[in-house]
Amino acid sequence: MTGDHRVPEGQLAQYALRVGDDALIAAQRLAEWSARAPEMEEDIALSNIALDQLGVARFLLSLAGGADGRSEDDLAYLRDDAEFRNCLLAEVPNGGPTAPPGASGDFGVTMVKLLLLGAYQLCLYERLVDSSEASLAEVAGKARKESRYHVDHAAQWTVRLGDGTATSQARVQQALDDLWPYTHELFEDDPLAVWAAEAGVGPLPSSLRAAWDAIVLPVLEEATLTVPPAGWHPTGGRDGRHTEHLSYLLAELQVLHRAHPGASW
Amino acid sequence: MALHEQRETAVTAWDAAASVVDPEIRVVTVAELGILRDVDTVDGRVVVTITPTYSGCPAMDVIRRDIGQALAAHGYPDAEVRTVLHPAWSTDMISEAGRQKLAAAGIAPPSPVGAGPVPLRLGVRCPRCGSPDTEELSRFGSTACKALWRCRACQEPFDRVKPL
């Protein structure tokens, strides 16, 4: 697979694309809860967080597409799964990594995932505000303030569920066990990330780990959850090698635009 | 165009743009909300600069349209509305008049964010009865910029613009 590890042309666009794809796919997953959340307040909260993520994705995809004349819609609706650069964690279904297509969501999985992914995004945006690329820094300057609310929300629920009943504790511990392996990919220093760090565009992913730990680990401890032992490290999202779940997600995301090109309302 | 004429144009265009109300919180104008950044003339054409409250604020398209229409109604048919992200909007940018109008409409204004990384947790007064005995029901409310609260004294739920 060494051929896949070359940094493609237009590194800056590729870099904006991976950060934007994380937000876009996270937004789509959260939006699946709309009208299906366990209570009305959560329905509104998850939809709001999805909207924040979508807003960030739109800015970043516009940036990424600007390099070769593609619009944010071109990038969101007309790429196939292997062209997406999001981390695998973002695409994990709301029912968990082993949920079959169409399975209903699990609120505990969603909250633990929002904690793990949201904390990563927060740590990344906190560093991207110092990016040598002004447009990235400006997006991050807004996004980090919103991310703090996402992480705070997820942390509150993780504690409430983890330090809750025996059933809720067991379920979020299972969610953590299932999701934890996907967090390792977030901190991999692949060639594009190394390029970004050397160019002052973005932080080295491995350098985010300490800040991420400082957010996530105290929450897990307060939630009486146990960090799983080191296990497998699924990876490949940054190179376009995704789980089968992304294809189903994209089918729903893209079907309208592909059936009715340029549709608007 | 002479300088004084340009300035006159800019002031009038500013007033036209500033009068546009937020489509989701219709008691405050875009100027009072602090999202109207600049109104200028470039080569005889009015250029309005706005900034979103939240990255995904769905009202931005309507705000752009409303500003364009307001300017057209005041004799600036080809105004351009640009969006900037920096400096990022903060609830500290809501004007005093804006805060008072929010409170009068039953929406608790945000406490100051200041320079610190964590929003201050000052007491929130019920915008209906004035009681400080209130609690947050949900960090997320009817729009991206609001949280849902409840007053323990008068039992009424209310929106609050959350500090950002």
Residue B57: which CATH number? Answer: 3.30.300.130
Residue A152: closest C-alpha in chain B: B139
Note whether B17 and B50 are same-domain residues.
Answer: yes
Q: Tell the residue number behind the tokens 């220093």, with chain if given.
A: A189
Q: Does the pLDDT value for residue B3 go beyond 70?
A: no
Structure tokens at A245: 């779940």
Q: What is the pLDDT of residue B6?
A: 54
ipTM, two decimals = 0.84
Residue A116: which CATH number? Answer: 1.20.1260.10
Grade residue A6 by pLDDT with cuts at 50, 70 and 90.
Answer: very low
Question: B140 and A48 in contact by Cβ < 8 A?
Answer: yes
Q: Tell the residue number behind the tokens 């104008």, with chain if given.
A: B29
Q: What is the mean pLDDT of chain B?
A: 88
Q: What is the mean pLDDT of chain A?
A: 94
Q: What is the pLDDT of residue B113?
A: 81
Contacts of A7 (CB under 8 A, 6+ apart): A14, A191, A192, A195
Domains: count for chain B: 2
Question: A45 and B164 in contact by Cβ < 8 A?
Answer: no
Residue B145: closest C-alpha in chain A: A48
Whole-number percent of chain B with pLDDT over 90: 71
CA distance A148 to chain B (A): 9
Q: Which residues of B touch A42 (CB under 8 A)?
A: 138
Q: What is the pLDDT of residue B116?
A: 57
Whether residue B94 lies inside any domain: the answer is: no
State mean pLDDT over A42-51.
Answer: 95
Q: Does the pLDDT value for residue A54 go beyond 90?
A: yes
Q: What is the pLDDT of residue B7?
A: 52
Whether residue B140 lies inside any domain: the answer is: yes
Torsion of CA A99, A101, A103, A109, to 10 degrees: 40
Q: Does the pLDDT value for residue B2 go beyond 80?
A: no
CA distance B88 to chain A (A): 5
Interface of A with B in 143-162 (CB under 8 A): 143, 145-146, 148-149, 152-153
Domains: count for chain A: 1
Instruction: Give the pairing of strands B107-108 and B157-161.
Output: parallel
Distance in angstroms between the alpha carbons of the first and the last residue of chain B: 41
Q: Which residues of A touch B138 (CB under 8 A)?
A: 41-42, 44-45
The angle at the Cα of A129, spanning A125 to A131, to the nearest 5 degrees, equals: 110
Looking at B56, B83, B110, the residue that finishes a domain is B83
Stronger pLDDT, A210 or B6, i.e. the higher one: A210
Note whether B122 and B76 are same-domain residues.
Answer: no
The per-residue pLDDT for range B90-109, each reduced to its tens digit, is 999 999 999 999 999 999 99
Domain range holding B138?
A: 99-161
Q: Can you tell me whether residue B74 is helix, strand or coil?
A: coil
Edge-first strand order for the sheet with B134-138 is B107-108, B157-161, B146-151, B134-138
Beta-bridge partner residues of B158: B149
Instruction: Give the pairing of strands B146-151 and B134-138.
Output: antiparallel
Note whether B104 and B74 are same-domain residues.
Answer: no
Question: A145 and B164 in contact by Cβ < 8 A?
Answer: yes
Question: B54 and A146 in contact by Cβ < 8 A?
Answer: yes
Of B55, B140, B162, the CB nearest to A59: B55
Whether residue A265 lies inside any domain: the answer is: no
Whether residue A72 lies inside any domain: the answer is: yes
pTM: 0.91
Q: What is the pLDDT of residue A2?
A: 36
Note whether B22 and B79 are same-domain residues.
Answer: yes
Whether residue B29 lies inside any domain: the answer is: yes
The per-residue pLDDT for range A217-244, each reduced to its tens digit, is 999 999 999 999 988 999 999 999 999 9
Whole-number percent of chain A with pLDDT over 90: 91
How big is chain B by its Cα radius of gyration, in Å? 18
Whether residue B89 lies inside any domain: the answer is: no
Domain range holding A160?
A: 10-227+236-259
Q: Does the pLDDT value for residue B16 go beyond 60?
A: yes
**Taking Cα atoms as reference points, which of A29, A166, A171 lies closest to residue A103?**
A29
Question: B55 and A56 in contact by Cβ < 8 A?
Answer: yes
For residue B91, give the DSSP letter: G
Interface of A with B in 49-78 (CB under 8 A): 49-56, 58-59
Note whether B111 and B145 are same-domain residues.
Answer: yes
Q: Does the pLDDT value for residue B44 go beyond 90?
A: no
Q: What is the pLDDT of residue A263?
A: 82
The per-residue pLDDT for range B48-73, each reduced to its tens digit, is 999 999 999 889 999 999 999 999 99
Alpha carbon A79 to its chain centroid, in Å, reads 18
Q: Does the pLDDT value for residue A202 go beyond 70?
A: yes
For helices A11-31 and A134-162, the axis angle rounded to 10 degrees is 30
Does A257 touch chain B if contact means CB atoms closer than 8 Å?
A: no
Q: Does the pLDDT value for residue B5 go beyond 90?
A: no
Q: Can you tell me whether residue B42 is helix, strand or coil?
A: strand
Q: Which residues of B touch A149 (CB under 8 A)?
A: 139-140, 162
